[in-house]
Amino acid sequence: MGFHRPHLPFVAPAKYYDLYPFERIKLPAEPADDVADIPLPARNEAVPQYPMTATPDQRRAAIRAYLATVSYMDAQAGRLLAALEREGVAEQTVIVFTGDHGWHLGEHGLWHKRSLFEESARVPLIVFAPGAAGNGRASGSVVELLDLYPTLCDLAGLPAPAGREGRSLRPLLADPARRLHEGAFTQARRGPKAEHWGRSVRTERWRCTEWDEGRNGLELYDHANDPGEFTNLATDPRHAATLRELRALLAARLPAPASR
């Protein structure tokens, strides 16, 4: 089942807007100089965004509309789950809840998607597998959307085609304490003519991003101490070894476009 919301245009019945009174909407809290250490290809100037972000009240209205459409979609997902329960098949059905990308609501001066910050690259992921010991428990393992296809093949008892990417999440469904990947990888193109290639790896602690293999900027964020990705540590010599290690992962997993 595919749900179009939350997606532009942010349209939902009024009762879902009523859940979020305008006067209670807060703008993202971030340092005043947040963009100072962000490479140009990753910044708002590289891809002009929406004029609706011009004033604080317009930003609050946009955030409110997004939240309303999320709640509207959640209600529709609830109707679907209720139908499975009503038909008596919920405990026999593999259920995967996810999205195809995240969404910026003004963080780092950005709106929309196609960034390599956490708000855009990370997606919700909930998996229910009949009889799995880990149902209802959270896992701290890094996973990728590429893992969904082999997971569904595995849970359905079907052979996964040779050459496919990703790994089955079944081990995590049995034991959420296990770890599956060393990192999750994301790519994006940005710039007025989409001329800048960005590639990013997210481990359990770190996010490392290169723009044009580092020629147009590097980013390194420590999620143990900086979950908002406000402090770029790429030029900090204390983290040089971590940066080298993560850049090697990027080069191995996501080759430069010219070499593809």
116/172 Cα distance (integer angstroms): 26
pLDDT in tens, 33-50: 999 999 999 998 777 655
pLDDT one-digit tens code per residue, 226-235: 999 999 999 9
- 50-92 pLDDT per residue, tens: 544 578 999 999 999 999 999 999 999 999 999 999 999 999 9
Q: Which of 141, 145, 97, 154 is nearest to 121 (CA)?
A: 145
- The structure's pTM equals 0.92
Q: What's the 3-state SS for 31-99?
A: CCCHHHHCCHHHCHHHCCCCHHHCCHHHHHHHHHHHHHHHHHHHHHHHHHHHHHHHCCCHHHCCEEEEC
Going by pLDDT thresholds of 50, 70 and 90, the confidence category of residue 208 is very high
CB-based burial, 125-159: b 16+ in 10 Å, e otherwise? bebbbeebebeeeebebbbbeebbebbbebbeeee
* Domains observed in the chain: 14-259 (3.40.720.10)
Q: Looking at residue 46, what is its pLDDT?
A: 73
At 260, the pLDDT band (50, 70, 90 cuts) reads very low
Mean pLDDT over the full length of the chain: 93
